[in-house]
A and B are shown apart, each in its own frame.
Chain A
């Protein structure tokens, strides 16, 4: 399995502010996919955003955007205008092309304060 590292176990942010979650990964592959998943307390894990390694342009989904640095093997997630509903555990995940298996980081717990 690939190694995915999330170095921030917990993050706290004020409502309407911005928070950035870090993720690094280790791979010798050139073609792969990166994902951020959100797991709210006692609820279903859902996909937040995805990035294809061959695309240089950073992915954006509404208030969520990534900073993908392929050479540095870094894939950070920025949550803008944080909302109370963003409170959740966030997982970074890696998948090699044609492998279909996701490798996850340890997760970062994000708490949005009112």
Chain B
């Protein structure tokens, strides 16, 4: 079944560690997105990609980085995690025109202690 997968689902990690949040989709979508969502709050776009080797920063400034080497894979990396990075991170994808919005992953809830 075509879907979008995020791992891990939950992550608790110490300050200063490097982490990578994985996101993969099996729908062949060109466009992929990362949103940050604090508890009970709206979603803020932090990164997006419109194709392989194309990445852009979103509306909310983030210390994270992303890469898009393969169409189906859009990982997000934090080189040195801090408590301020504690949040939920949602990955999404859409077809070329995004007329039907996005398909979202289940999210990664990150806690930095």
Whether A95 pairs with B40 at a CB distance below 8 angstroms is no
Please give the distance in Å from B30's CB to the nearest CB on chain A.
10
Residues in B with CB closer than 8 Å to A47 are 100-102
Minimal Cβ-Cβ distance residue in A for B104 = A45
Whether B105 pairs with A106 at a CB distance below 8 angstroms is no
Whether A101 pairs with B45 at a CB distance below 8 angstroms is yes
| Interface residues of B, count at CB 8 A | 24
Main secondary structure of the interface of A (DSSP, over half): strand
Whether B102 pairs with A102 at a CB distance below 8 angstroms is yes
What number of residue pairs across chains A and B have CB atoms under 8 A from each other? Answer: 56
A35 and B98 alpha carbons, distance in the complex (Å): 12
Give A68-114 interface residues, CB cut-off 8 Å to B: 89, 91, 93, 95, 100-107, 109
Whether A91 pairs with B42 at a CB distance below 8 angstroms is yes
Whether B105 pairs with A102 at a CB distance below 8 angstroms is no
Residues of B within 8 A of A (CB): 31, 33, 35, 40-43, 45, 48, 50, 58-59, 90, 94, 97-102, 104-107
If A46-B104, A50-B101, A95-B98 are given as contacts, then 9 extra A-B residue pairs at C-beta distance below 8 Å, sorted by A number, are A44-B105, A44-B106, A47-B101, A95-B101, A100-B50, A101-B59, A102-B43, A102-B45, A107-B40
Residues of A within 8 A of B (CB): 1, 4, 33, 35, 37, 43-47, 50, 89, 91, 93, 95, 100-107, 109
